[in-house]
A and B are shown apart, each in its own frame.
Chain A
Amino acid sequence: MEYSYYPGCALHSGAKEFDLSTRFVCETLDIKLKDLSGWSCCGAASAHYINHDLSLALPARNLMLASKNGHCMVTSCSLCYNKLKRASKALEEDRKLKEKLKEIAGIDYLFEVKVKNILEVLNEELGVDKIREKRRVSLNNLKIACYYGCLLTRPKEICGFDNHEHPTFMENILGSLGAKTVNWSYKTECCGADLSLPNLEIVLKLTSKIIKMAKEAGADCLVTACPLCQANLELRQEEAGKQFNFEPDFPILYYTELMGISLGSRNALRWIDMHIVDSKRLLKVHGII
């Protein structure tokens, strides 16, 4: 399997550990990632906020680059995935849009590019059995709350993989690697997204609810597939803990990091060290590192 890999801005900087662990997981499982040369920002939530055409043109530019490679496009970031897939579907369904984007943005879309998320590829194209075969370290019944956030599975017409209200793709993988994933009802509740800088109070309220519910469900940590969710849940945890009365010691990891540890990565500690909330103690107690 070979894909054009789109890291996105966050995995290129503030979510480096997500990028590193994604690359390791894919390499170990023979999923070839070819970096998309000249990639640019997908527009994230900001393009959608300000202008509809821009919110399609920016991801479409990347689809154009990928169409020259001839591969299917893959990304780990939920937000990038949502925006790229939305643009890809819009171009597929609307011929006039193709011409409009060519005229206003110089985007010459050669042929259709499929967009997938790494989580989707791991479950649907590779399969959980193949992942289980490569397990080196068991996750030793570590109790994990799998958090999907908003845009990985919604809207179902765009994303079209896993169940949009009660997804289980992360649970499938981590369960096969020995973890005990908890059943909880806040899997797809919003974390507050881009409001972290302009309206922090909302993010504190939403993230505190998510963390409290994960703890109540019996989880020792939370895993996510979105760099924005991860940042809100981890970076704002100390402040949220003060305001909403809980201990800010809840590790927030990327699912690919735990996968990487289980598949035998020697660099996993480097990824774990990039986090603000410590998770080493928890992983040591469970005999995982």
Chain B
Amino acid sequence: MKSFIDRTIEESSQNIGKCLHCQKCSNGCPISFAMDSYPNQIIRLLQLGQEERVYKSKTIWLCLACETCATRCPMEIDLTRVMATLREMAISKGYESPLPKIKLYHDMFLKSIKYTGRMFESGLFGLYGILAKQPFRDLNIGQKLFFKGKLSLFPSIVWRKKEIKKVFEKIKV
């Protein structure tokens, strides 16, 4: 089997071996304060073949894809793409996210698109609140938005929504 770094390079199309550890990525990352390993430390773990540590780190599950790191990397490594690739590899190997609420949010968002073609805001927020065990936290904001006429109680459905559902089924998401 190919090494961890080789598999990641192949999947992400990024030449991770070029990383100089200049730490521009870690210094620019807006949420590095919330991570257990800084972005460049994830690259180092990758280079050292520490697959399980990478999959279990909060970093790859927290990355917001704000592109600050990718924009500033002097070696032109798209670190956002590397993080996304590592996350997909972790999911395919059955690793659970150490930050399950974030994954739950994204899974639910995609379900809304799969079945209606568009994001159903009030449905997503309401159901997410229940499943994430925080049903009352955002009720106040939801109420304000509703009375301002910005939240519909019904989803906006694309008339060719079956096409979109097929996209999800073929990609097996």
Q: A-side interface residues toward B, CB under 8 Å?
A: 9-10, 12-16, 38-41, 43-54, 57-58, 61, 104-107, 150-151, 154-156, 164-165, 188-190, 192-195, 197-200, 202, 205-206, 235, 273-276
Q: Are B170 and A104 closer than 8 Å at their CB atoms?
A: yes
Q: In whole Å, how far is B12's beta carbon from the nearest beta carbon of chain A?
A: 9
Cα–Cα distance between A195 and B103 once the two chains are bound (Å)? 10
Which of B30, B106, B168 is the one whose CB lies under 8 Å from A45? B106
B96 to chain A: which residues have CB within 8 Å? none
Q: Are B88 and A52 closer than 8 Å at their CB atoms?
A: yes
Q: Are A235 and B141 closer than 8 Å at their CB atoms?
A: yes
Which of A45, A155, A188, A197 is the one whose CB lies under 8 Å from B125? A197
Q: In whole Å, how far is A80's beta carbon from the nearest beta carbon of chain B?
A: 11
Q: Are A52 and B71 closer than 8 Å at their CB atoms?
A: no
Q: Are B163 and A106 closer than 8 Å at their CB atoms?
A: yes
Cα–Cα distance between A105 and B129 once the two chains are bound (Å)? 32
Q: Are B30 and A48 closer than 8 Å at their CB atoms?
A: no
- Nearest to B167 among chain A residues (CB) is A105
For chain B, the count of residues having a C-beta within 8 Å of the partner chain is 61
- Contact (A155, B70) CB under 8 Å given A43-B113, A52-B85: yes
Q: In whole Å, how far is A186's beta carbon from the nearest beta carbon of chain B?
A: 10
Q: Are A190 and B145 closer than 8 Å at their CB atoms?
A: no
Cα–Cα distance between A190 and B31 once the two chains are bound (Å)? 9
- Nearest to A39 among chain B residues (CB) is B158
Cα–Cα distance between A57 and B66 once the two chains are bound (Å)? 21
B159 to chain A: which residues have CB within 8 Å? 38
Q: Are B109 and A46 closer than 8 Å at their CB atoms?
A: yes
| B3 is an interface residue with CB less than 8 A from chain A | no
Q: Are B148 and A273 closer than 8 Å at their CB atoms?
A: yes
